[in-house]
Amino acid sequence: MITIEEAEIRSGIIKAMSHPVRLMVIEYLKDGSRTFSEIFGLFGFDKSTISKHLLVLKEAGIVSSKKNGSDMIYTLEVPCVTDFFGCVTAVIENNVRRQQVCLCKR
């Protein structure tokens, strides 16, 4: 078994992925680095909101950023995080199979 301390570290990283905007950013960066503006353009939220979501991903070590002129470039640090999405899909499909509507996010 893992310790509670180890679980806290792991859950911090998972929590960083557990928001729709942050999940979409991860998906988007899977195919290559993007500027803040490109990422911002995907959503209808305020700039500051997107900037703070990116900070959460950065602090978790999931993305990194570097300045390029007046742009800020965001890069996915650990592409394997997207491997997980297949399993999330399996959970969703299993829920459908069991006639169980997922109650999350309602």
Partner DNA sequence: TGGTATATTGGTAAAAATACCAACAAGCCA
Partner DNA sequence: TGGCTTGTTGGTATTTTTACCAATATACCA
Nearer to a copy of itself, 69 or 80 (CB): 80
CB-based contact 26:81 (threshold 8 Å): yes
**Is 77 a residue that touches a copy of itself (CB under 8 A)?**
yes
Instruction: Write out the binding residues for a copy of itself, residues 29-58 only, by CB under 8 A.
Output: 42-43
CB of 8 to DNA, least distance (A): 10
Whole-angstrom CA distances from 84 to 22, 32, 41 are 14, 18, 25
CA-to-CA separations, 52 to 32, 47, 55, in angstroms, rounded: 21, 9, 5
Residues that bind a copy of itself (CB under 8 A): 1-2, 4, 7-24, 27-28, 42-43, 59-62, 77-78, 80-81, 83-92, 94-95, 98, 100, 102-105
